[in-house]
Amino acid sequence: MKTFKQIYREAENKISGVAAAPGINIAPAYLFTKEKLDINDGGIANIDEALKNLDEAIDKSKKELNKIFSLAKETMESVRAAIFEAQMMILDDPILIGNIKKRIAQEKKLPEFIVNSEISRYQDIMRTSSVTYMKERAHDIDDIKNRIIRNLLKKRWQSKITESVIVIAESISPSDAILFSRRDVKGFITDHGGLTSHAAIVSRSLNIPAVVGTHNATNRIKDGEIIIVDGFHGYIIINPTDEQIKFFENKLKRLQELQRDLLELKNKPAVTIDKHEIHLSANVDVSGEIDVVVTNDAKGIGLYRTEQLIDEYNEIPTEEEQTRIYTNLAARIYPETLTVRAFDVGGDKVKVLDYIEPNPFLGMRGIRVLLDNVGLFKAQARAILKASENGNIQFMLPMITTISEIIEAKKIFESCKKELADNKIHYDKNIKLGIMIEVPSAAVMAFEFARLVDFVSIGTNDLIQYMFAVDRGNDLVADLYQEFNPALIRTMKHIISESKRAGKPVSLCGEMAADTLAIPLLVGIGLDQLSISPATIPYAKRIIRAMNYQSCCKLAEGCMQCDTQEEVINKIEKFFKDNLITRTRNII
Ligand code: PEP
Ligand code: MG
């Protein structure tokens, strides 16, 4: 049987894009082109009548959005459905609507022309932003602009499609995605958009495979053509050959079988054949994922990436909002532990402050931003403390590079505790403070760093980036991003032994632990706590239950002696074969 790599390498009928929502489907294409709205810049004779038309169009748009919002609330978590609430708020924005009305009166032009020009002006500003999130929001605003214009032109609202198709479009607004999902849509493919575009977020929430940012899918795919969408790898196959259809049907079948098998693992521990237990917790990016965490019976949350809240809320949530969010999350997983990581902003992540820096990856990131903005850090620390009363929250600091950062952060944390105590506000007096080790200087000094804190978590995503001097998001140097390089394995082994020597628990929360190939190696070098994306927990558990701890230790010793990544991978693949363990990566 061929692998995905071979199938895609040989395929001439493929398009690639960003893998935005996992899953595979085979279905006919439905080319969704929105009717071009004819906007002319004609003049008006009656200003009052134009303003009345505008008010009516805005009212109608609000009603439509209200309907979509109710549908969204039925099918998605409330934080996702809030996209539509945000759109309704734009319709109520007094400055925007005020400007449009002022311009209609002054310029005496048709309202649709002014609406288009005024909202497009905002979009242009957003598009030139250096922040990816803002650029993608510019697309989302098209939806609201077109809705008002369509209602001004008294055109019908059209989001109807045939049942069970894969929708191909230049871009898909969140409201289209919601309406399509009611027609058993099998996938979304768009020319524009990235991982954080709303269409991508909505697809993930609705469990519909999606590939976005393909640039030219609408030109290459014709209506009715059979296509395969692969939201795991970010590929689309147009008019598949018999061999390709057979390959993907087989994958789909295996995927369904695997999902059934995985269900049976629920409530069973992640323990090796020789009874060595591994603590599997979850990495959570968005609060909505908590349901997946609970369903896949994770042992708590090993990494809650709070900077994602800034993305979700479009601003830094207030101390009260944060307290509410952390309290709810901790309650949902009680008695397991919630590890809240302080805002890891900067670098390739959310930017909240305008540092002008030539190289953001080596600049104001994580703890550096927090220590430079003590108010922001303190508000988050206080929120965490207030939510910690039940004793199941711990606090983790990202991007620690020096001892003095730990000392300074601890001082601030202590001052927050004192503030609360002075105000008679309860918190967990034994709350644990930990650090992430994701920078080489911290790895080398692991013993000294670990001594100062309660726990340590290895962040391989950044550790690889900084060890190998390779941008984690740059395709051109992806070959150098080597998860299995002996230099990394020896470094991890050093961090683990040194943290244990300091008497502190150590876990790993980088994506590496979600790669099923890495699991025996990680367990063999001494990790007994892994935090991975919630959906991959059953896959990891399945492998742990099929392997022997003593053999993993031997495997790890062998890998530590290797010279190259290839040798390490060969050794691990042989381990899987010798022990008759099948890996998920072979299946999906
Ligand atoms: C890491 O760097 O490994 C990590 C878990 O943090 P993030 O991916 O959020 O930078
Ligand atoms: Mg990191």
Average pLDDT over residues 67-76: 76
Model confidence at 43: pLDDT above 80? yes
Q: Which helix (H) or strand (E) holds 43?
A: none
Please list the residues that pair with 28 across neighbouring strands. Answer: 226
Closest ligand by atom to 339 CA? 1
According to DSSP, residue 45 is labeled S
> Closest ligand 1 atom to the C-alpha of 438?
2
Helices (H), 159-280: 174-181, 198-206, 217-220, 242-264
For ligand 1, say whether the CB of 472 is within 6 Å of any of its atoms. Answer: no
- Are 385 and 431 in contact by the 8 Å Cβ rule? The answer is yes
- Are 531 and 523 in contact by the 8 Å Cβ rule? The answer is no
Q: 207-220 pLDDT, tens per residue?
A: 788 998 899 999 99
Which residues have their alpha-adjacent CB atom under 5 A from ion ligand 2? 438, 459, 462
Q: 255 pLDDT band (50/70/90 cuts)?
A: confident
What is the domain partition of the chain in residue ranges? 4-34+159-252, 47-152, 266-578
Q: Which protein residue has the closest C-alpha to ligand 1 atom 9?
A: 305
Model confidence at 133: pLDDT above 80? no
CB-based contacts of 469: which residues, under 8 Å, 6+ apart? Answer: none
Please list the residues that pair with 376 across neighbouring strands. Answer: none
> Closest ligand 1 atom to the C-alpha of 307?
9
DSSP 464-495: HHHHTT--TT-GGGGGG--TT-HHHHHHHHHH
Quick one: fold of 266-578? TIM Barrel (3.20.20)
Q: 275 pLDDT band (50/70/90 cuts)?
A: very high
Q: Output the six-digit token pair for 299.
A: 């042992």
How far is C-alpha 510 from the geometric centre of its chain's CA atoms? 13
Average pLDDT over residues 30-39: 81
Q: Which protein residue has the closest C-alpha to ligand 1 atom 4?
A: 459
Task: Tell me the longest C-alpha to C-alpha distance in the chain.
Answer: 86
Calpha distance 337→185 (Å, rounded): 38
Q: 326-361 pLDDT, tens per residue?
A: 998 998 889 999 999 999 998 767 777 778 888 888
Q: 396-436 pLDDT, tens per residue?
A: 999 999 999 999 999 999 999 999 999 999 999 999 999 99
Pocket residue to mutate for ligand 1, from 281, 461, 492, 527, most atoms within 8 A of Cβ? 461
CB-based contacts of 448: which residues, under 8 Å, 6+ apart? Answer: 403
Going from the Cα of 510 to the center of ligand 1, the distance in angstroms, rounded, reads 6
**Annotated catalytic sites, by residue?**
198, 509
- Residue 6 has a pLDDT of 82
Domain 47-152 has CATH 1.20.1250.20: no
Pocket residue to mutate for ligand 1, from 305, 467, 470, most atoms within 8 A of Cβ? 305
What is the SS3 assignment for 187?
strand
Model confidence at 288: pLDDT above 60? no
Q: Which protein residue has the closest C-alpha to ligand 1 atom 3?
A: 459
531 to 193, 303, 514, 528: CA distances (angstroms):
29, 7, 8, 10
DSSP 105-135: HHH-B-HHHHHHHHHHHHHHHHHT-S-HHHH
Average pLDDT over residues 449-472: 95
Closest ligand by atom to 343 CA? 1
> Helices 174-181 and 78-91: crossing angle, nearest 10°?
130
- Are 345 and 352 in contact by the 8 Å Cβ rule? The answer is yes
CATH homologous superfamily of 4-34+159-252:
Phosphohistidine domain (3.50.30.10)
Model confidence at 76: pLDDT above 70? no
475 to 462, 470, 478, 559: CA distances (angstroms):
16, 10, 5, 27
Per the model's pLDDT, the better-predicted residue between 244 and 180 turns out to be: 244
Going from the Cα of 33 to the center of ligand 2, the distance in angstroms, rounded, reads 40
Q: 587 pLDDT band (50/70/90 cuts)?
A: low
Model confidence at 571: pLDDT above 90? yes
> Which has the closest alpha carbon to 149: 32, 33, 38?
38
Average pLDDT, the chain: 88
Calpha distance 452→446 (Å, rounded): 10
> Closest ligand 1 atom to the C-alpha of 457?
5
Going from the Cα of 461 to the center of ligand 1, the distance in angstroms, rounded, reads 5
For ligand 1, say whether the CB of 349 is within 6 Å of any of its atoms. Answer: no
Q: 135 pLDDT band (50/70/90 cuts)?
A: low
What pTM value is reported for the model? Answer: 0.67
Q: 198 pLDDT band (50/70/90 cuts)?
A: low
